[in-house]
């Protein structure tokens, strides 16, 4: 509640946040039941496993170790994500008792994806929603997203790809042996603002994001993260990067690899698989 008696939606803008800390952060905010939106850019690199990912079956731990890439597991859906500088990440954290937010999962993705599309369109970028989890530009994925329920809070997270390290992404996946062809396949189906010739600054994207949030939610308050949230984030970060958590056998077999929505490949042949 603001000083004027109005209810404000809190927005935390956190530039250059350690990648694993940024993942732990939305868990901490959800645990403390704080409704808010976080906008951040990683200051370094990490691999973020989806809740159901079985890393032992597909992740190259040796490559990650050799290249000093930490690994963290998040308690939201979606596949494995490579976080690094040059990506803008957004985190929506809302109470499941909030009647203004739809909580049927397909509606959740559509609702929040439309906000991100508004950001793109305000920047002159003709992006589209590709159900259930992607935003596309010229039929290529430019934003990947995931959602989950943490401590009875809805968490919806995603990214805007200003840039992307396709070579590193190809190398962290162990069960694809033809790295060159795999990288080419990724580049064919995933795009970035840089690849599209759109040299937008981080600040211009964040400012556009904030303007869209003002239009959508009315009253917002740009705030500073409380110290106790930082402390809790660090504790959660230790837990979610622990060996037992990242190597947990979730039972998922990973017989196919998802490139983008409705596009899966056989990791051995790289041929498309129709599910």
| Omega before 132 within 30 of 0, i.e. cis | yes
Strand partners, 73: 49
What pLDDT, in 10s, does the model give residues 43-84? 999 999 999 999 999 999 999 999 999 999 999 988 999 999
Q: Are 9 and 220 in contact (CB under 8 A)?
A: yes
What pLDDT, in 10s, does the model give residues 211-270? 999 999 999 999 999 999 999 999 999 999 999 999 999 999 999 999 999 999 999 999
Secondary structure class of 169 (helix, strand, coil)? helix
Q: Where are the beta strands (DSSP E) in the chain?
A: 9-17, 36-42, 46-49, 71-73, 81-83, 87-95, 128-130, 134-137, 140-150, 153-161, 220-223, 257-260, 263-265, 272-273
- Residue written as tokens 């909030």? 98
Q: How far, in Å, CA of 50 to CA of 30, rounded?
A: 17
pTM listed for this prediction: 0.95
Q: Which two tokens stand for residue 38?
A: 């976080």
Share of the chain above pLDDT 90, in %: 92
Q: Which two tokens stand for residue 218?
A: 């009315």
Q: Are 68 and 44 in contact (CB under 8 A)?
A: no
What pLDDT, in 10s, does the model give residues 153-202? 999 999 999 999 999 999 999 999 999 999 999 999 999 999 999 999 99
Domains detected in the chain:
9-273 (3.30.930.10)
Inform me whether the pLDDT recorded for 1 exceeds 60: no
Q: Are 216 and 101 in contact (CB under 8 A)?
A: no
Q: Which two tokens stand for residue 222?
A: 């740009």
Q: Give the pairing type, strands 220-223 and 9-17.
A: parallel
At 265, phi and psi to the nearest 5? -130, 155
Mean local confidence (pLDDT), 78-98: 96
Q: Are 84 and 42 in contact (CB under 8 A)?
A: yes
Looking at residue 6, what is its pLDDT? 56
- Residue written as tokens 């002159």? 124
What pLDDT, in 10s, does the model give residues 122-164? 999 999 999 999 999 999 999 999 999 999 999 999 999 999 9
Q: What are the strands of the beta sheet with 128-130, ordered from one edge?
A: 128-130, 134-137, 140-150, 153-161, 87-95, 36-42, 9-17, 220-223
């Amino acid at each position: 509640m603001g000083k004027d008696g109005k209810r404000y939606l809190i927005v935390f803008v956190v530039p250059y946040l350690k990648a694993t800390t940024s993942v732990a952060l939305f868990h901490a905010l959800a645990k403390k039941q704080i409704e808010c939106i976080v906008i951040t850019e990683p200051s370094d690199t990490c691999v973020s496993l989806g809740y159901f990912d079985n890393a032992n079956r597909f992740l190259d731990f040796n490559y990650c170790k050799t290249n000093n890439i930490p690994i963290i597991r998040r308690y939201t859906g979606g596949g494995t994500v490579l976080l690094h500088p040059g990506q803008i990440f957004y985190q929506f954290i809302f109470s499941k008792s909030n009647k203004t937010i739809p909580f049927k999962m397909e509606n959740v993705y559509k609702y929040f994806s439309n906000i991100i599309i508004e950001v793109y369109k305000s920047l002159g970028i003709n992006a589209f929603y590709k159900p259930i989890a992607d935003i596309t530009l010229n039929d290529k994925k430019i934003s990947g997203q995931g959602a989950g329920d943490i401590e009875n809070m809805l968490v919806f997270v995603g990214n805007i790809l200003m840039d992307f390290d396709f070579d590193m992404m190809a190398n962290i996946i162990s069960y694809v042996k033809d790295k060159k062809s795999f990288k080419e396949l990724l580049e064919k189906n995933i795009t970035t603002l840089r690849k599209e010739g759109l040299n937008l600054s981080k600040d211009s994207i964040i400012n556009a994001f904030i303007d869209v949030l003002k239009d959508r939610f009315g009253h917002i308050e740009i705030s500073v993260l409380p110290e106790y949230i930082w402390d809790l984030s660090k504790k959660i970060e230790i837990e979610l990067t622990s060996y037992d958590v990242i190597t947990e056998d979730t039972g998922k077999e990973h017989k196919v690899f998802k490139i983008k929505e409705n596009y899966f490949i056989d990791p051995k042949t790289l041929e498309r698989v129709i599910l």
